[in-house]
Structure 1
Amino acid sequence: MKEKNKIGCAVIGLGWWGQQMIQKIKKTNKFNILTVFDSDKNKTHSTAMKLNCLGVDDFQKILVNSQIKVVFIFSPNQYHKEQIVAAAKAGKKIFVEKPLANTSSECAEILKACRKNKTLLAVGHNVRRYSIFRKAKKMVNSGVLGDLILIDGNRSRPIGYRIDKNNWRYYRTSCNGGPLIQMGIHIIDTIRFVCGFEGKSFMTLCQKKFLTTENPETFSSIFELDNGCLVHLVSSYVLQETFYINFFGTKGSLFVDPFNGLFIQKHSGLNRKEIDYVAEDAENKELNDFYWAIMKGKKFEPEAYEAMQNVKIVENIIKQIKDY
């Protein structure tokens, strides 16, 4: 696509994920990054030099730039509400990385501002676009597993040892729920995407033994979907890299692991059969969906309300912890 036909955009939040997504944005060939901003001026300067674009020291300069039609937000959670509401008032289309915000009350304020200003808000829950989970959704909905009895999911990474008091993930006020809102929310959103049910009747255990962070480092929660299926969710900042969602039904079980593959096991059998699927770039699909939502008004998933519901489930899990 010619540069003049690309949508002018700004990128806010230039940490590790922001840098990854910049490359994905460029790869779509549909957006032209005109401006970047980060609270760390060194990151702003170095990224602007690398992209040959403008780096600004004030977020407000992005809002008043009429050439910027879209704002991509990859900043820490505690800035999401302020930045999204300001961008909505300025008439920008908005893409924000999950979670939508730190709390459901902040999410509600965001949704209200976007409705009032009639602006598009897309929330980046990329895992639901993994082709392995799209395949899993088709299989679950086909009835091959029978009625679902239990779903077991775990998203963990041992990055907690690097989180110190200079890191926003250290504090509850900036990262409400620690690994749960950063990683466990992927499991929550994907289960809701695959099954289409809400959660209730939460029970939670947590551990705070190895890290000094304000949040617990490991969460283990059991809750019930409104169709009666039980869910066990684990998310940790000290466990080894782990990523799976397993579905257990009356006719069989489905083991879904983006690192190791997709397997099905019949209810009466002991062996698992590997299921083929074609791996695709989930972030590229997500960004292209966002582009067509802008250009053609196509529905973007999840809807912002669904992203708020994910945060509510995180809150319901946390509420079960005494003296949190």
Structure 2
Amino acid sequence: MGKVNVGIAGIGWWSGVLAAVIENCDTLDLRACYTRSKDKAATFAAKFNCQAVDSYEAMLALDDLDGVILTTPNSAHRAGAEAAARAGKHVFVEKPISNTLEDGRAMIAACEASGVVLAVGHSYRRHGALRHLRRLIDDGELGRVSLAEGVFSNDNGLKLKPGLWRSDPAEIPGGCLMQIGIHQIDNLLYLLGPVSDVQAYFNRLETEPDVEDVTAVLMRFESGAVGYVAADYISARRFTLAVHGTKANAYFDMDNDGLRLQRTGETKPLPVEYEPIDHLRAELEDFANAILTGAGPEIDGHRAMVPLAIVLAAGRSSAEGRSIALTELLPD
């Protein structure tokens, strides 16, 4: 199996993280990079041994380029994806797929019309603990799942200053739920399946820019289970999951206790071993595999529309003070 040559558009902290991951991928090579700052592009190119190009159009014109990785602001995803599709290049875009359902649909249509892959970067579901937890659920080890909780917090909101795209409420509708909480929304979708409706509360307490820094959303799943996701942009880092079932509860703390299981009748949860997986490498190699084999990526454009719709429904719920059926946003 050959390698897929990709270019990264939009150079910042996260593009560097992904470029470092690509260096360890068996199926990807970083061919080129582009950002508006030539100095920044040159530094990035030297560090990751790729070509700095003068424009996004120049990147798309490279004959040996197979695909692009878009780490641009959310509002730029549509234009970047549509241009890549017109050039016959495959597209990997960071989450969320876009800020709006209209843009997401346009990206899907453009990539499908050109016959190119559209993959979206919801990576945490590929973490070894999440994969193992999904197997426990599928095998009936937890019994009937009734409740799931996902929390993602960090203090990045305390550092936000006006003038950055992450500080612009037009760029981040839903505030920290769009920026970090969407990861846990996707995790619960992966573990529990489709959602029927949501109820949410958003607030801004401490961030200097007008961005919601604390959010909570309740999700009712079609299975009857209830899920809860909280995102907090003004407190210490926490990434935890809890899944409750009639036979056992499972707990996952990414930074501390790993995966633990407490079976009914036991007094405390016990550690569970699982196979470690580099979730970022797994998502990028999934993108490459989709290109090389023709198989669809795990998170294509259609699947990525669901966590986006939940964030947007949560925002509507908080503003209007009512539960929002997901069919209000995704009637199909």
**Distance (whole Å) between structure 2 residues aligned to residue 111 and residue 203 of structure 1:** 28
Residue 242 (str. 1) matches residue 200 (str. 2): no
Decide whether the 8 Å contact of 1:219 with 1:234 is kept in 2.
yes
Residue 107 (str. 1) matches residue 104 (str. 2): yes
Please show how residues 1-324 of structure 1 align to structure 2 within 5 Å: 6-200=3-197, 202-259=198-255, 260-322=257-319
**Distance (whole Å) between structure 1 residues aligned to residue 49 and residue 288 of structure 2:** 23
- Displacement after TM superposition at 1:41 (Å): 3.2
Decide whether the 8 Å contact of 1:48 with 1:54 is kept in 2.
yes
TM-score relative to the length of structure 1: 0.94
Deviation per CA, 1:169-206: give whole Å up to 9, x if none. Answer: 11121122221112111111111112222241x22122
Deviation per CA, 1:225-265: give whole Å up to 9, x if none. Answer: 11111111100111210111111122221112222211111
Decide whether the 8 Å contact of 2:21 with 2:281 is kept in 1.
yes
**Distance (whole Å) between structure 1 residues aligned to residue 243 and residue 5 of structure 2:** 42
**Distance (whole Å) between structure 2 residues aligned to residue 304 and residue 212 of structure 1:** 33
Q: 1:323 to 1:197 in 2, by over 3 A?
A: closer
**Distance (whole Å) between structure 1 residues aligned to residue 45 and residue 247 of structure 2:** 55
Residue 79 of structure 2 aligns to a residue whose secondary structure is helix
- Displacement after TM superposition at 1:323 (Å): 7.4
Residue 143 of structure 1 aligns to a residue whose secondary structure is coil
Decide whether the 8 Å contact of 1:136 with 1:256 is kept in 2.
no
Decide whether the 8 Å contact of 2:19 with 2:48 is kept in 1.
no
**Distance (whole Å) between structure 1 residues aligned to residue 22 and residue 73 of structure 2:** 19
Decide whether the 8 Å contact of 2:193 with 2:222 is kept in 1.
no
Residue 19 of structure 1 aligns to a residue whose secondary structure is helix
Answer with 306-315 or 66-75: which moved more: 66-75
CA RMSD of aligned residues (A): 1.8
* Letter matched to residue 21 of structure 1: L
**Distance (whole Å) between structure 2 residues aligned to residue 114 and residue 77 of structure 1:** 17
Residue 54 of structure 2 aligns to a residue whose secondary structure is coil
Deviation per CA, 1:300-321: give whole Å up to 9, x if none. Answer: 1022201011100110111112
**Distance (whole Å) between structure 1 residues aligned to residue 148 and residue 3 of structure 2:** 42
**Distance (whole Å) between structure 1 residues aligned to residue 105 and residue 9 of structure 2:** 22
Structure 1 unmatched runs, 5+: none
**Distance (whole Å) between structure 2 residues aligned to residue 73 and residue 313 of structure 1:** 22
* Letter matched to residue 287 of structure 1: L
- Displacement after TM superposition at 1:293 (Å): 1.2
Q: 1:308 to 1:59 in 2, by over 3 A?
A: same
Residue 224 of structure 1 aligns to a residue whose secondary structure is strand
- Displacement after TM superposition at 1:222 (Å): 1.2
**Kindly, what percent of the aligned residue pairs are identical?**
27
Decide whether the 8 Å contact of 1:153 with 1:234 is kept in 2.
yes
* Letter matched to residue 224 of structure 1: R
Answer with 281-290 or 81-90: which moved more: 281-290
TM-score relative to the length of structure 2: 0.91
**Distance (whole Å) between structure 2 residues aligned to residue 147 and residue 19 of structure 1:** 41
**Distance (whole Å) between structure 2 residues aligned to residue 100 and residue 25 of structure 1:** 21
**Distance (whole Å) between structure 1 residues aligned to residue 320 and residue 212 of structure 2:** 12
Decide whether the 8 Å contact of 2:193 with 2:221 is kept in 1.
no
Answer with 19-28 or 260-269: which moved more: 260-269
**Distance (whole Å) between structure 2 residues aligned to residue 136 and residue 99 of structure 1:** 24
Residue 150 of structure 1 aligns to a residue whose secondary structure is strand
Residue 248 of structure 1 aligns to a residue whose secondary structure is strand
- Displacement after TM superposition at 1:36 (Å): 0.6
* Letter matched to residue 189 of structure 1: D
Decide whether the 8 Å contact of 2:119 with 2:301 is kept in 1.
yes
Residue 7 of structure 2 aligns to a residue whose secondary structure is strand
* Letter matched to residue 241 of structure 2: I
Residue 62 of structure 2 aligns to a residue whose secondary structure is coil
Residue 32 of structure 2 aligns to a residue whose secondary structure is strand
